């Protein structure tokens, strides 16, 4: 599926030609998609940052639980106990159906790697066969992030109960540290 096809599908869905001077937004098929580079940068080429290592050194001998809105996977790269990280906003390292037609999420390291290795360096196009497609409905896969009502959250909510229990059991006797 390329840009031309995406425009055609969009016009078919709206049922009328776009008025002159108006615009619609599609995925950027004609460029090496920015989010592919972004995912690679935040999820795969970035080591755990010093901030997270230092934080771990401070809390490692204490009872702790991490709740984070970060989706960059930094808390999963070092020594934090992964069962004690509640990252409810999703992950750049996963893909899901853009329409959330099912609850399956996919590790995207290999998919992202292929797109980056095999894109056309002259036109900057990603090869059509490397564009990730939902095997269930044939629509695009997209980053598994809480950005709209289609977000597939089931895999990120498994330790919500543990987090709530941790907070409840502490009866207010805890330090809440916020990284911004």
In the complex, the smallest distance separating the C-beta of residue 87 from Zn ion, rounded to whole angstroms, is 23
In the complex, the smallest distance separating the C-beta of residue 150 from Zn ion, rounded to whole angstroms, is 9
- CB-nearer residue toward Zn ion: 136 or 162: 136
Q: Where are the beta strands (DSSP E) in the chain?
A: 66-68, 85-87, 90-97, 106-107, 141-145
Contact call for residue 137 and Zn ion (CB under 5 A): yes
Contact call for residue 136 and Zn ion (CB under 5 A): yes
Contact call for residue 115 and Zn ion (CB under 5 A): no
Question: Helical H runs in 16-175?
Answer: 34-39, 50-59, 109-118, 160-169
Contact call for residue 140 and Zn ion (CB under 5 A): no
- CB-nearer residue toward Zn ion: 3 or 101: 101
Task: Report the distance separating Cα 40 and Cα 112, nearest Å.
Answer: 7
- CB-nearer residue toward Zn ion: 10 or 102: 102
Task: Tell me how crowded residue 66 is: count the other CB atoms within 10 A of its CB.
Answer: 20
Give the residue among 58, 65, 69 at the shortest CA–CA distance from 176. 65
Contact call for residue 97 and Zn ion (CB under 5 A): yes
Report whether 127 contacts 133 (CB < 8 A): no
Q: How many helices and strands (H and E) does the chain possess? A: 5, 5
- Phi/psi for 166 (5° steps) reads -60, -45
In the complex, the smallest distance separating the C-beta of residue 131 from Zn ion, rounded to whole angstroms, is 14
* Binds Zn ion by CB under 5 A, chosen from 27, 101, 104, 167: 101
Contact call for residue 150 and Zn ion (CB under 5 A): no
Binding-residue total with Zn ion (CB under 5 A): 5
Binding site for Zn ion (CB under 5 A): 97, 101, 134, 136-137
């Amino acid at each position: 599926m390329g840009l031309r096809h995406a425009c055609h599908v969009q016009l078919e869905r709206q049922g009328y030609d776009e008025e002159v001077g108006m615009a619609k937004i599609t995925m950027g098929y004609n460029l090496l998609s920015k989010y592919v580079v972004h995912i690679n940068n935040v999820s795969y080429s970035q080591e755990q940052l010093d901030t997270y290592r230092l934080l771990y050194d401070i809390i490692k001998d204490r009872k702790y639980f991490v709740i984070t809105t970060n989706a960059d996977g930094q808390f999963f790269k070092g020594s934090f106990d992964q069962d004690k990280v509640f990252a409810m906003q999703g992950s750049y390292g996963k893909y899901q159906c853009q329409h959330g037609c099912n609850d399956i999420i996919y590790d995207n390291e290999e998919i992202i790697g292929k797109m980056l290795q095999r894109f056309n360096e002259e036109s900057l196009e990603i090869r059509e066969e490397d564009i990730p497609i939902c095997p269930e409905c044939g629509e695009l896969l997209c980053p598994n992030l809480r950005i709209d009502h289609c977000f597939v959250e089931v895999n990120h909510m498994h330790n919500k109960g543990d987090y709530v229990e941790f907070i409840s059991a502490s009866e207010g006797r805890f330090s809440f540290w916020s990284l911004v």
